[in-house]
A = this chain, B = another copy of it.
Amino acid sequence: MKLWQKDYTPNKRIETFVVGKDYLLDQSLVRFDCLGSIAHIKGLLDIGILTQDEFCTLKKGLLEIIELDTEGRFIIQFNDEDVHTKIENHLVEKLGDVAKKIHTGRSRNDQVLTAIRLYAKERFLAIEEKAISLSLSFLTFAEKYLMIPMPGRTHLQKAMPSSLGLWAGAFSESTLDNLIIMDAGYELYDQSPLGSGASYGIPLPLNRELTAELLSFSKVQRNTLYANNSRGKFEVSLLMSLLGVTFDISKFSNDLILFLLPEFNYFELPEEFFLGSSIMPQKKNPSFLEMIRAKSNTFISLVFQIVSIVNNLPSGYNQDFQETKEPFIKGLDMAEELIEIASLIIENLKPNEASLRKACTPEIFAQDKAIELVKEGMPFREAYKKIAKEIDKVKTSEIEEALKKRSHIGGTGNLGLPILREEILNKQKEIVQRKENWKKRLSKLIIPK
């Protein structure tokens, strides 16, 4: 029985079309919808809509659902339509009439908004934590192989002397910037939409500050229409904030696809990472790197999917929002997986120093030679031209020497990795702290009394 069902039976084909896989996706929202409801009934108690007894009965019912869900025994079926209906129907069946009061002052729009906010916050905190770990893994690699030389490339052509420290350090430092955007995305989600109703509020004096506090939100998202209007925008903002990370990981895999080729042979990875061919006995395919490349594109298309769906909609709730649930959840899954796989790779990556050193052929020192002439007083553009004419005569410099000479901040001779480590550790502390607070608040909410 749908919550809204009246005296006609919905057309089955239409219903299948509209509901789609929504009921399956809702499975991940069970716990969060229950948490939202616990806060809501606490609010109803506060304004006298529920008695203490009713509140306790309902809360107990909701806590039981959370437990069933944890044990994988609260399964939403197609006929349940969605998580909210399933929960209300379940409660009515278990608790009788009192359960019919739980939807007072709510709307499914409000419920799904709240549940998704909570779900996304929890998922996102875990992703931020893993992004930090990945950054640390890159840093550790950079520290370990700091001065191992490597030809720096522009236009993919060998360009200048570089180092593994610079290469891996770039990915590490990048993550801190990514987290700036991610934190901003998180900040949007840290607002409570609870109490916004179907977009237009509720004719009851709901205590929205109380419920926000209970659910560990930093503030109330005030305007009730805006709460609903923001749904797609927030989803886009959160997923987009992860593009920095997926860009980095895609770049990392592109580098490795090249550098693992026998023609380069710069690195090695454990044999167990590679897949074989059904027909060519000799093959060891870096399928995982290609899949990173491919999935980084899939990730982009998920963002684009949500953007396309939510742009050009009028104000207020529109059914289209339901269609963003799948790409949103999938996007979070995919970003998390890409981070995990990238971590696994960098932590197992071994450089072939000999190959790397051999690749540092003389011509990459051409600019160094030009700068030497500059130091002797020749204008740079003339030095450049002189060296360009005699490019065949450039002999291999002492490579370590060249790396050290880049002694300005961020150069191979002065990468500032200790400062970077400190910055990352500070950021890590901040995120762990945020996560602790989140856990503490929610655990209070589920104390059964």
**Copies per assembly:** 4
A208 CB contact (under 8 Å) in B3, B226, B257, B408: B408
B341 engages A223 (CB within 8 Å): no
A181 engages B188 (CB within 8 Å): yes
A263 interface contact, C-beta 8 A? yes
| Residues of chain A in range 71-113 having any CB-CB distance to chain B below 8 Å | 84-85, 88, 92, 97-98, 100-109
Counting chain A residues whose Cβ lies within 8 A of the other chain, the interface size class is 35 or more
B409 engages A254 (CB within 8 Å): no
A317 interface contact, C-beta 8 A? yes
Residues of B close to A17: CB separation below 8 A: 288, 291, 337, 341
If A100-B381, A290-B318 touch, whether A230 touches B177 (CB-CB below 8 Å) is yes
Nearest to A177 among chain B residues (CB) is: B188
What sequence of 0s and 1s flags, for each residue 9-21 of chain A, a beta carbon within 8 Å of any chain B beta carbon? 1110111011010
Residues of B close to A241: CB separation below 8 A: 181
Interface of A is mostly: helix
User: Nearest 4 pairs between A and B by C-beta?
Assistant: A4-B276, A100-B379, A201-B411, A301-B305
What sequence of 0s and 1s flags, for each residue 255-282 of chain A, a beta carbon within 8 Å of any chain B beta carbon? 1011001111000001111111111111
A444 interface contact, C-beta 8 A? no
B380 engages A101 (CB within 8 Å): yes
A207–B414 Cα distance when bound, in Å, is 12
B160 engages A280 (CB within 8 Å): yes
A198 engages B159 (CB within 8 Å): yes
A275 engages B10 (CB within 8 Å): yes
Q: Pick the interface stretch among A26-34, A119-127, A386-394, A432-440.
A: A386-394
A185 interface contact, C-beta 8 A? yes
Nearest to A11 among chain B residues (CB) is: B272
A293 to chain B minimum Cβ distance, whole angstroms, is 6
Residues of B close to A327: CB separation below 8 A: 298, 301
A277 engages B198 (CB within 8 Å): yes
If A173-B222, A408-B207, A410-B195 touch, whether A278 touches B200 (CB-CB below 8 Å) is no
A323 CB contact (under 8 Å) in B49, B237, B295, B382: B295
B198 engages A279 (CB within 8 Å): yes
A225 interface contact, C-beta 8 A? yes
What sequence of 0s and 1s flags, for each residue 412-429 of chain A, a beta carbon within 8 Å of any chain B beta carbon? 100110011000000000
If A167-B315, A247-B311, A283-B157 touch, whether A288 touches B14 (CB-CB below 8 Å) is yes
A319 interface contact, C-beta 8 A? yes
A282 engages B222 (CB within 8 Å): no
A341 CB contact (under 8 Å) in B6, B13, B97, B251: B13
A219–B132 Cα distance when bound, in Å, is 21
Residues of B close to A196: CB separation below 8 A: 410
A237 CB contact (under 8 Å) in B101, B220, B244, B389: B244
Centre residue among A282, A293, A419, A420 by max chain B CB count within 10 A: A282
B199 engages A290 (CB within 8 Å): no
A115 interface contact, C-beta 8 A? no
A103 engages B14 (CB within 8 Å): no
A155 CB contact (under 8 Å) in B101, B283, B312, B405: B283
Residues of B close to A255: CB separation below 8 A: 314-315
Nearest to A152 among chain B residues (CB) is: B200
A278 engages B108 (CB within 8 Å): yes
Residues of B close to A271: CB separation below 8 A: 8
